[in-house]
């Protein structure tokens, strides 16, 4: 299934939820000095133009990062407070742009690369035959490139070989396109194996909220997997529209296994603002639940 290109969705509301969550996870884990291994299972090209190419076809950034930055500017002029987590996220977006012009959107690989400390490692997987070459070129331009490994391999089958990392400290981002419905089954199998090998790792799973049976069932299936391994979890979703049909993605979610205790508060502060900023015709909604396992 090589039709999917993340550039179509760069800077969308789904990216905002994913990256705002991801930044907090990394910064929390880096409060300890030990080396952290980070894995992105579906890396894409790493960074994307918002001025040409696929992103200008879909225009998903218009309802995502452009809409959010406009909302934040309006709040600043009105002296309306903005949650620190959103301002922190925007720092990473602005770092890839110059003169205040939003022309580029960093994907997870570039955000994670900027977060690397000297002792950390980043491992990126990408199977798309065109994306992998673009990813290698883009990562090669970074000063952190020597800390980053790139694999043109199936991450679902290769992940278990990386776990546990040498330092026993790791963050794994799992964010396939789900264009192939088998991705749901592969994801569940990979999580079962990963938790057997590295039960204390932090796993961040992104998914689209769509009417497909596998998507609807995924959060409950992940809760069962977490319960089997006696792991805590946090589940969040952000909906920006509640319109009939699925002309475009209206909602997405993150499911975190072994979340830091600070994440719920972090999202509880950010999500109401995101629904106001990104909601269309009053369709902004969010979900936030967590469960703390008793060992």
Active site residues: 175
Q: How far apart are CA 47 and CA 95, in angstroms?
A: 12
Enumerate helices (H) and strands (E) in the chain, giving the number of each: 10, 10
- Residue 61, token pair as written in the block: 């950034």
Distance from C-alpha of 256 to C-alpha of 89, rounded to nearest angstrom = 18
CA gap 289, 287 in Å, rounded: 7
Gap between the Cα atoms of 174 and 187, Å rounded: 8
Answer for the pair 252, 237: CB distance below 8 angstroms, yes or no.
yes
* Structure token digits, residue 129: 């035959």
C-beta of residue 218 within 8 angstroms of C-beta of residue 184:
yes
DSSP 101: -
Integer CA distances (angstroms), 242 to 53, 149, 186, 248, in order: 28, 40, 29, 11
Q: How far apart are CA 15 and CA 13, in angstroms?
A: 5
The DSSP output letter for 259 is -
The answer to whether the CB of 132 falls within 8 A of the CB of 105 is: no
Pairing of strands 148-151, 121-125: parallel
CB atoms within 10 A of CB 159: 22
- SS3 for 286? strand
């Amino acid at each position: 299934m090589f039709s999917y290109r993340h550039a179509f969705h760069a800077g969308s509301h789904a990216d905002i939820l994913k990256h705002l969550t991801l930044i907090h996870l990394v910064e929390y884990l880096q409060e300890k000095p030990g080396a952290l291994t980070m894995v992105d299972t579906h890396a894409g090209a790493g960074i994307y133009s918002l001025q040409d190419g696929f992103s200008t076809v879909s225009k998903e950034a218009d309802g995502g990062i452009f809409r959010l930055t406009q909302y934040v500017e309006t709040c600043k002029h009105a002296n309306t407070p903005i949650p620190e987590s959103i301002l922190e996220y925007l720092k990473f977006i602005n770092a890839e742009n110059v003169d205040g012009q939003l022309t580029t959107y960093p994907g997870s690989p570039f955000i994670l690369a900027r977060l690397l400390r000297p002792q950390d490692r980043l491992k990126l997987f990408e199977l798309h035959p065109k994306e992998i070459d673009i990813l290698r070129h883009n990562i090669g331009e970074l000063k952190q490139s020597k800390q980053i490994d790139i694999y043109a391999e199936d991450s679902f089958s290769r992940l278990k070989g990386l776990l546990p990392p040498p330092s026993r400290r790791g963050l794994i981002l799992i964010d396939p396109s789900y264009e192939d419905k088998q991705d749901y089954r592969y994801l569940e199998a990979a999580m079962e194996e990963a938790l057997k090998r590295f039960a204390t790792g932090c796993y961040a799973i992104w998914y689209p909220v769509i009417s497909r049976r596998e998507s609807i069932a995924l959060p409950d299936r992940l809760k069962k997997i977490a319960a089997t391994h006696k792991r805590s979890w946090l589940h969040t979703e952000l909906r920006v529209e509640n319109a009939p049909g699925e002309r475009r993605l209206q909602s997405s979610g993150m499911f975190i296994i072994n979340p830091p205790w600070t994440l719920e508060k972090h999202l509880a502060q950010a999500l109401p603002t995101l629904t106001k900023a990104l909601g269309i015709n009053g369709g902004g909604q969010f979900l936030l639940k967590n469960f703390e396992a008793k060992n």
